[in-house]
Amino acid sequence: MTTYTPLPIPPAALKEIRGTDDAGRPVEPYRAREDGEPVDCVGSPLRCCLRAIEPGELVALVSYAPLRRWAALTGAKPGAYDEQGPVFIHAEECDGPAGQDGEYPFARPGALRTLRRYNAEGQIVGGRLFEIPEDAGAGFDAALDEAFADPQVVLVHVRAVEYGCFQFEVRRG
């Protein structure tokens, strides 16, 4: 079994979407609040540093197109598979992920995820529903081993089932 590295939104993409998101909208930062006013986002996942939002942090909910960004770097042509969706990020530059060696972010046992598999052209070549087990690390490792056992899979997007939100990506080593 291989251990994989969950990748956050890359710094260059963050710099761009902190101004205008992938849907072309200007970003509207706000402070995370515990009391639910105006928006209760404490505990929601930050895709810039792969941890939960904490009270008082300046955050933004933006539209992000992870496959589009990857395709621009690789020359892939995902066509209709190019999707965008909502993600939380720090509204200002952050240090990125810290202290997560061998851990998968947002790995609450019982939570449902979709592991969507893509080929080198950015086309979906499979996927699976995944319920995070008590041993989340071993569960993710096994599910990603299964995905990358297919030689045409070069990229896996992990998404939340409830809202379809992009959680993180894993690339073939």
Write the pLDDT tens digit of every residue in 67-113: 999 999 999 999 999 999 999 999 999 988 886 666 899 999 999 99
Q: Is residue 6 part of a domain?
A: no
Which residues are CB-neighbours of 101 under 8 A, at least 6 positions away? none
What are the two backbone dihedrals, phi and then psi, of residue 23, each rounded to the nearest 5 degrees?
-100, 5
Residue 87: per-residue pLDDT: 94
Q: Is residue 148 part of a domain?
A: yes
Q: Is residue 101 part of a domain?
A: no
Q: Is residue 102 part of a domain?
A: no
Q: Are 78 and 67 in contact (CB under 8 A)?
A: yes
Q: Is residue 166 part of a domain?
A: yes
Residue 165: per-residue pLDDT: 87
* % residues pLDDT > 70 (the chain): 94
CA atoms within 13 A on the CB side of 94: 23
* Counted domains in the chain: 1
pLDDT digits (tens, 9 = 90+) for 44-75: 899 999 999 988 899 999 999 999 999 999 99
Residue 16: per-residue pLDDT: 95
Structural domain span for residue 118: 11-96+108-171
Q: Is residue 1 part of a domain?
A: no
Residue 78: per-residue pLDDT: 93
109 prior amide bond cis, ω within 30: no
Which residues are CB-neighbours of 136 under 8 A, at least 6 positions away? 103, 104, 107, 108, 109
Query: What are the strands of the beta sheet with 45-46, ordered from one edge?
Result: 30-31, 58-64, 85-90, 45-46, 51-52
Q: Is residue 4 part of a domain?
A: no
Q: Is residue 103 part of a domain?
A: no
Residue 67: per-residue pLDDT: 95
